[in-house]
Structure 1
Amino acid sequence: MKTSLLLISGLVSSALGNVVSSQTFLPSKNRGLLSQLYGEVMEAHDGLDDFQSQHIASFELDDSEDPEFQAMCGFYEQSPAKYPDDDLSSDLQLFSGIVSFAHVPMARCFEQRSSKKAPKYDIAIVGAPFDTSVSYRPGARFGPNSLRQGSRRLGGGYLPVRGFPGSKLRQLDPYNAGYKIVDCGDVPMTPFDNRIALNQLYRGQRAIYNKTTVKDGLKVPKVITLGGDHTVTLMALRAAYEHNGPVAVIHFDSHIDTWDPRVLGGGITKTQSINHGTFLHFAHEWGYLAAEKSMHVGIRAPFIMKSDEKHDQDCGFEKIVARDFDILGFKEIVKKIKERVADLPVYITVDIDVLDIAVAPGTGTPEPGGLTSRELLTVLDGLEGLNVIGADVVEVSPAFDSNGEITSIVAAQVVDSFLGLMTVN
């Protein structure tokens, strides 16, 4: 048996060796079968010489081959393959290269603006791999990577359902709309100290904002953050506020996230008072939010105390609850949001748990009775015309996702909607 295996192994090695050997360039009658079938795959197709510039692969079977096998291979003889050029630019890009969001170019966004290596861009996508301020299930530190994986089919093209009928969004390809979009990679965030991690994120976001834009009339880049748990929004809001002033926040979530830190977390230490359920309290307290101009959408989780609702209003929020989607039409929901935020700079934050647990199981604090992906995307696209200066999608926890990656794919589509809102004129 060992002898037979060694013999077979030797024959296979010998045959495969022909693929890359000098026999590749011999006349087909003098080449082995594998070399005849696959030899051209190993050749250059960049037009360097007459043989390679033909771009056509063909082969001839030896007369000694079994007639039945010759017949099976007849299709390949009659249908020669045409290989792409060596730069592969005409080939499908779904699975090639390093996985950036929607295949946009990578950029060294954390370089000092004065550095010769500092890039210029209009919209920056950046990851915030952080989940040590959650109250239930961790895992969102892996969210940025899963969002990029879920975006592989994005990167160009028009959507016939983008926006309401007659919308400019239906004629828009956001990736080719005159804005330079880049992926900055992830901000380094320590998993051992929340104070340091959040400061790292703030400094990373600040560096991204302090770059030169390309688009005429755009003075400051727009930033899209891939979370990470929802605490990361606080630092994103801080950086956005420094360049745009107080912003109106449209907050898609099943939880209010304006909890008084004495109710959620702060009763133990001050460090724990900043978490993914209190960050909007601090955004209000520190002045990042325009007064009485922010809106929750999709709320359905229970309050902890009766005073939570009044505290939420004191933080400047009104709300559209999840079951309002069964009562109000999309246009009415969009109208309420637009009236609330008016013409202020708008920051949109989407906690993926705003979706129903059946639609987005891969999240840290799932709640039943949520939105469908269609409902969320329809409302987002309906916000056309707002001055969206920043956005994020957070709480994607791939360890709890299905093996079909449905949460990551939906979350990536949310970012695609952000890009539409940021690039439509």
Structure 2
Amino acid sequence: MHAPQNPKSTDDAPESDESNGVAGRYNFVVLIVYQVVLRIGWIFKTESVIMPAVLDSLGGPGWLRGCLPMLNRFGQSITPLLIARQVKIAPRKKWAQFLSSAVMSLVFGTLAAIWHFGGARRADESQAVVLAAVFLLLYAIFFMANGANQLSLNTLLGKLIVPTSRGRMMLLANVLGSIFAVSAAAVFLPRWLAPALADFRWVFGTSALFFALAAVSTILLREPGDNYEQPRSPVREKIRDAYNTLAADANFRRLALVAVLFDSSVMLFPHYQALARSERVQLDMTNMMQWVVAQNIGTALFSLLGGPLADRMGNRMVLRVLVLAICCAPALAIGLSRAESLSPHWFLLVFVLVGMTPVVIRTLQHYTLEVAPPSEHPRYLSSLSLCLVLPILLSPLVGKLIDRVGFDPVFLGIAALVLVGWLTTFRLDEPRHAH
């Protein structure tokens, strides 16, 4: 029933010595470089645009597209729960960051090889089924690695970066990352995305390259060793531990509810591009580059708002602003798809709003770092990740429901859930008032 103990560390200061002075500034720069390089690789595998288009090119139905956010969030949520202890007791967390980034690169290198040598571009119906299964398996492995990556990155942020600098880091990493990523996408994606058939081998290969470069950059971090201990526990004990964390912390329970309701919006990710390419809107694959760029511009714009606002007024205020804004994305998508007087190209505004999603998730994580004891950062972060997986388990059902009843009722219903999440942000504590 109690939290894991930390007998060898009595320092519960919110930051280490390495978060201040020359070493702190150096690590600040290295972590920004890491996130910028990772963002360049990420833009070529955008989950709301590129990845569902890959399945659509293989003839996948709506429920199969719906598997993408489920595998995405399941991998990101369950993996941190399983490895939170290993990350906590590791003397240097940067090696977990290096290994997870390397696995992410390996997955996309494998996909590039399959699409190049396996004839994916000329697959018949039976081959397409096998390719879709292999793609989903590798996609699941990728997000398991990404779950480890996010846990180790956020633990490093909690260890090496002072709380009042994390908003500035989010701002710089997202804005610079978006500038470089959008530039790369604008140069290369038009060459690889055709109206009827996209050449995904180059898309996958580019992601693999930049994930590998990001992995190498983590070696440069100057990280002091930790000396934490925590006994081993079976998986059921880890789930019970997450439950106990929620049961013992009322404010964290409210944050978990915000996270669950907000994350229901992620179930719509693969279906925005499907709506845009439906008969109602009549756009095609040549528009994907614009959507990818719009989404990354959205990330940069909302980082410009969220980063300074977090440093000045706290992460709670950022959540209030952004969660309200993101519930507008499904409603805007339906409105634009019904507005015959407007050009269909206005649909890219939906992807601008979708671009705030990583900013909200990072803000949820930063808020968690502020309300959790430093020695328990991995446990709180893994518990938050477990909460984020809950709505996504329904993602295939949402895809099937869209096939059956259409986009409108599903999109508007999820917008209503996110609105309830926004109302819940007004019940969150402001941790900076306690200092």
Please say whether Structure 1 and Structure 2 have the same fold, judged by a TM-score greater than 0.5.
Answer: no
Structure with greater proportional strand content: 1
Q: Give the TM-score taking structure 1 as reference length.
A: 0.25
Structure with greater proportional helix content: 2
Larger radius of gyration: 1
Q: Give the TM-score taking structure 2 as reference length.
A: 0.25
- With a CA cutoff of 8 Å and minimum separation of 6, indicate the structure with the bigger relative contact order: 2
